[in-house]
């Protein structure tokens, strides 16, 4: 599995919006666009209170794996109220900078 991840990171360039809300799935081998899609979060252990965003398919895979090995599920679905903001954000110009 480690080898596969290393291979994926070499094979796939990282999108600048990787892991961001309405950006791209944080799984390097996936990076599916999240805007308008069902999104899931995982706690970012590198940042206090940070969240990483994943697509539905990857989150389902992660949770299925966690269930299999008997650890707490890592991915949490983004609640509907947050999804409702996507339409408003769509009117904004392309995000060109990160916060912090």
55 binds Zn ion (CB under 5 A): yes
18 binds Zn ion (CB under 5 A): no
- Following DSSP, what letter does each residue of 32-93 receive, concatenated? -B-TTS-EEEEEETTSTTEEEEEEHHHHHHHHHHHHHHT----EEEPPHHHHHTHHHHTTSP
CB 62 to Zn ion: min, Å: 9
The answer to whether the Cα torsion of 28, 58, 20, 47 is positive or negative is negative
Give the other-Cβ count within 10 Å of 29's Cβ: 13
20 binds Zn ion (CB under 5 A): no
Q: How far apart are CA 7 and CA 3, in angstroms?
A: 6
- Binding-site member from 34, 42, 52, 58 for Zn ion (CB under 5 A): 58
**Per CB under 5 A, which region of 7-15, 41-49, 57-65, 70-78 contacts Zn ion?**
57-65
CB 23 to Zn ion: min, Å: 11
CB 96 to Zn ion: min, Å: 24
Binding stretches for Zn ion (CB under 5 A): 25, 27, 30, 32, 55, 58
């Amino acid at each position: 599995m480690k080898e596969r991840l290393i291979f994926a990171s070499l094979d796939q360039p990282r999108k600048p919006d990787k892991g961001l809300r309405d950006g791209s799935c944080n799984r390097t081998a996936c990076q599916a666009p999240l805007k308008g899609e069902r999104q899931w979060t995982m706690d970012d252990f590198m940042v206090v209170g940070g969240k990483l965003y994943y697509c539905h398919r990857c989150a389902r895979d992660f949770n299925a794996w966690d269930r299999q090995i008997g650890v707490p599920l890592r991915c949490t679905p983004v609640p509907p109220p947050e999804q409702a903001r996507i339409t408003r954000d769509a009117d904004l110009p392309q995000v060109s900078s990160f916060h912090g």
